[in-house]
Amino acid sequence: MKITCLDKLWQEGRDFLGVRFPILCGAMTWISDSSLVKAVSDQGGFASLAAGNMPGEMLSAEIEKCLTQSDRPFGVNLVTIAPNFPEHKEAVLQSKAPIVIFAGNFPKRQDVEEMKEAGKRVLSFASTDSIAAQMVRFGVDALILEGSEAGGHIGHVSTMILLQQVLFHKPDVPIFVGGGIATGRMVANMLLMGAAGVQMGTRFVMSEECHAHPNLKARFVRARAREAMSTPAYDKRLPVVAVRALKNKSTEAFGELQLELMRKMNAGEVNRIEAQLEVENFWMGGLRKAVIDGDVDHGSCMAGQCVGLVDKIQPMREIFAELITDAEAELERVKARLG
């Protein structure tokens, strides 16, 4: 496979991640397990193991599986607002996992420092320019700039704006870009803008190797981009991280949950932290219902807006071949246009 143009553009990402192709598979709770990590790694990409809210000992076992099934680098994605985050952090610190990715919200400086002292390279998501600057001050080794088009927990700024606010004013760390990316042509253009690599999630759910329930994949095939909607927050006293998922009865139930939690907070029955934990437990359980049980009406079908760009299930090797071939062809087209 000829990738002459790509090799000139994504060397920074290849060197940082230690992989052939700096194409990251985003961590998706209940989906990104050790088997998906292997499937992505086998194709030369960079895979993320999703801690979600699994028990700490289970995460340790999944990390060991990743380490024994391949000698290729991978990342462990920790959701900082997950109830089991303290256990997850300890599991990673005690493991030989080479890279940790902080997600869901943003790590404390101490979290970053502890991981680096343990010999881990640290990536963190950034959903605004101020958060990107803060993470660099905290000492992260690289950023994942993720726009609101992405699925799952998201910020409120689009990829298009973040590119101009952050990527074009390149901090002194590699920047990987996610949110709304599903094609090789877009991969090429992100690299041209200065990205070290790209991250995708929804596209990899549609791989044959992904164990997500067939009902969820079938729903993705039918979905339009506009169906992947962001959840609203009703009251600043209950700050919730927005989630993008396909609109169904689960998204309606989340609105009702917020109203009920605010009623309980007003009555003094729960405090803000307890309410936020209930919110996270709702999403963890709802996601399992869709991904594992196949209930796409009542479960949480988290997906990015690029779900409107995927309409078939493919082997992982075919997905990577298509992405890379199309990216290289796009760069050749750009060269020809420039004369």
232: pLDDT confidence band, cut at 50, 70 and 90?
A: confident
Q: How far is CA 143 from the centre of its chain?
A: 12
Over residues 6-32, the pLDDT tens digits come to 998 999 999 999 999 999 999 999 999
252 has a pLDDT exceeding 90: no
Distances (CA, A) of 67 to 18, 50, 238, 284, 317: 15, 15, 39, 26, 21
What's the predicted TM-score (pTM) here?
0.93
User: CA quadruple 215, 246, 279, 133: dihedral positive or negative?
Assistant: positive
**What average pLDDT score do residues 44-60 get?**
94
- Measure the CA–CA gap between 76 and 133, rounded to whole angstroms: 23
Here the contacts of 55-58 (C-beta below 8 Å, separation 24 or greater) are 55/84, 55/87, 56/84, 56/87, 56/88, 56/90, 56/91, 57/91
1 has a pLDDT exceeding 80: no
* % of residues, the chain, pLDDT over 70: 100
DSSP assignment string, 297-310: TTS--B--GGGGG-
Over residues 69-81, the pLDDT tens digits come to 999 999 999 999 8
Listed by start position, the domains of the chain span: 4-212+310-338, 219-305
- Measure the CA–CA gap between 291 and 88, rounded to whole angstroms: 22
Mean pLDDT of the chain: 94
Q: How far is CA 172 from the centre of its chain?
A: 22
Q: Which pLDDT value is given to residue 317? A: 98
CATH T-level topology, domain 4-212+310-338: TIM Barrel (3.20.20)
What's the DSSP call for residue 293?
S
